[in-house]
Amino acid sequence: MDRMLNIDPRQLERVMRVPAMASSPKAQEMASYRYLTAKWLPEERLIYDAVQEGYTDSGSLLAVTGLTQTQIDSALGALVRRGVISRVAPQKGLEGVLQ
């Protein structure tokens, strides 16, 4: 037997609104970031975020991320293979994040 809920039609908009589906620019940006980085390793996310913030040389990436040089090199290699960033020169830094 179906039950009907007594809902005031004036309140229907408030009931139908879902906070997680908010379409603010910040929510959309976060959703696209999560979609982009869903299968990445944590080290790759750290490097990607650091490059987004402007840290592009290996010394600053070491200091900001707290990773070892080996971890940074492997994460950079993975990001380059995915086409997210591109190297300018082997030890000089990165060009930046491609859009």
- Residue 99: the pLDDT is 37
- Average pLDDT in the chain: 76
Domain locations in the chain as residue ranges: 41-99
pLDDT digits (tens, 9 = 90+) for 42-74: 999 999 999 888 888 888 999 999 999 999 999
Question: What DSSP assignment string belongs to 34-95?
Answer: HHHTTT--HHHHHHHHHHHTT--SHHHHHHHH---HHHHHHHHHHHHHHTSEEEEETTTEEE
Confidence category of residue 30, pLDDT binned at 50, 70, 90: confident
Whether this model's pTM surpasses 0.75: no
Neighbours of 62 (CB within 10 A): 15
- Residue 43: the pLDDT is 93
Q: What is the CATH number of domain 41-99?
A: 1.10.10.10
